[in-house]
Amino acid sequence: MRIKHSRHFPWLLYLAPALLVYTVFMAFPLIDSLRLSLFSGNNQVTRVFVGLDNFKRLFTDPEISTRYWGAFFNTWKFFFVHFIVQNGLGIFFAVLLTQETMKGRQIYQTIIFIPTTFAVLITGYLWKLMLNPVWAGDFLVSIGLPFLKHPYLGDTNTALWAVSLVSCWQWLGIPTMMFVAALRNINVELLEAARLEGAGSVKTFWYIKLPLIKPIVGIVAVLTFVNNFNAFDIVFAMENVNGAPEYSTDLIGTLFYRYGIAGQHPIGIPDAGLGAAIATITFLLLMVLVIPTLRQTQRGA
């Protein structure tokens, strides 16, 4: 009965529009961007096949490779701050927010998520003003907190930290809500049994809750990875596309924009091949890290 009708069902017709848009504007450009990393020139007419030359330039040209590795390691730092601070706080808050007997949980949840609804640009601009020592600095001195007056965004030692933490402030809502949803799905009887056995809250978390929400931990890890290896807006807003000061907040996202899209100052001609090479490496890196993480955590999920 079922199969007979399925055969007559014009399923391709229903799939076609979505498949078309998705293929033309996502799958194809993505794959073709990988191909373009083997070419030089900015349009179909002037484009020539150059093999791995773009990659060679990226890693051997003294200027370009310095910038690339700088951005590469900054991106990893940026990612680790998110992984530890954003996801760590997220899981901690989620545990607090899933205590059955606590009051006001809904209100806290609503508040934690507010910054996530802001555009990164708005968050970035707002914090850029707040962290400007000219504005609040004198006030901090006057209330007896002079040690807090510091040009956080202008100091190469603190700039990347400041930008990363502001970004964590913004995105904390997402892992928190995901962990809350996952923790709520845990069987109450299981937790009750653990409690009767005398397991404290730390033990219960470590040996029962955490293993049970492993699939979500995996998804959050992957999302953190994917989003941070593409971050651009926050640096654009707080430090401009050059990753000021002195490239200390330059991320792969901003580097990609400068080389591949906007063109390096002062020439201003984008280098599409080099940009595609940067994108290709990011893509491969994501694959290498995302697939095993999902394999590891999504088993049986």
Partner 1 sequence: MRGSLRKENRHIFSHIVLLLWTFVVLFPIWVLVINSFKTRLTIYENPFWIPKTWEFSNYTTVLRDGDFFTYFKNSFFVVSISLVLVTLLASLAGYALARYKSRIGTIIYYFFIAGMMIPIKIASIKLLEIMRALGLLNTIYALPPIYVAMGLPVGVFILTTFIRELPEDLYEAAIIDGASSGKIYSMIILPLIRPALATTAIYNLIPFWNDLWFPLIFINDERHKTLLLGVTRLFGQYQTDWSKVLAVLTLSAIPVLVLYLAMSSQFIKGVTAGSVKG
Under 8 Å between Cβ of 275 and 258: no
Least Å from the CB of residue 248 to partner 1: 22
153: closest CA among 249, 255, 257, 250?
Answer: 249
Query: Which residues inside 28-47 make contact with partner 1, applying CB under 8 A?
Result: 28-30, 32-33, 36, 43-44
Number of residues located near partner 1, criterion CB under 8 A:
99
Query: Which residues inside 55-84 make contact with partner 1, applying CB under 8 A?
Result: none
Least Å from the CB of residue 73 to partner 1: 20
* The one among 59, 76, 232, 247 contacting partner 1 by CB under 8 A: 232
Query: Which residues inside 239-298 make contact with partner 1, applying CB under 8 A?
Result: 253, 256-257, 260-261, 272, 275-276, 279, 282-283, 286, 290, 294
- Integer Cα distance of 239 and 249 in angstroms: 7
Contact flags string 82-121 toward partner 1, x per CB under 8 A: -------x--xx--xx-x-xxxx-x-xxxxxxxxxxxxxx
Q: Please report the DSSP string for 103-136 in residue order.
A: SSHHHHHHHHHHHHHS-HHHHHHHHHHHT-HHHH
- Integer Cα distance of 179 and 250 in angstroms: 31
- Integer Cα distance of 264 and 273 in angstroms: 14
Q: Phi and psi dihedrals of 67, rounded to 5?
A: -65, -45
Residue 155 interacting with partner 1 (CB under 8 A) = no
Which of the ranges 63-71, 151-159, 230-238, 243-251 carries the binding residues for partner 1, by CB under 8 A?
230-238
Toward partner 1, which CB reaches closer, 83 or 283? 283
88: closest CA among 199, 191, 224?
Answer: 224
Toward partner 1, which CB reaches closer, 52 or 301? 301
Toward partner 1, which CB reaches closer, 30 or 52? 30
Least Å from the CB of residue 187 to partner 1: 13
Residue 52 interacting with partner 1 (CB under 8 A) = no
Q: Which residues pair with 48 in a beta bridge?
A: 40
- Integer Cα distance of 10 and 20 in angstroms: 16
Residue 195 interacting with partner 1 (CB under 8 A) = yes
Contact flags string 175-194 toward partner 1, x per CB under 8 A: --xx--xx--x---------
Q: What angle do CA 149, 153, 155 make, to 5 degrees?
A: 80
Which of the ranges 51-59, 130-138, 145-153, 155-163 carries the binding residues for partner 1, by CB under 8 A?
130-138
Residue 233 interacting with partner 1 (CB under 8 A) = yes
Q: Phi and psi dihedrals of 172, rounded to 5?
A: -50, -35
- Integer Cα distance of 172 and 224 in angstroms: 11
* The one among 85, 126, 194, 210 contacting partner 1 by CB under 8 A: 126
Toward partner 1, which CB reaches closer, 23 or 62? 23
Helix (H/G/I), strand (E/B), else coil: 185: coil
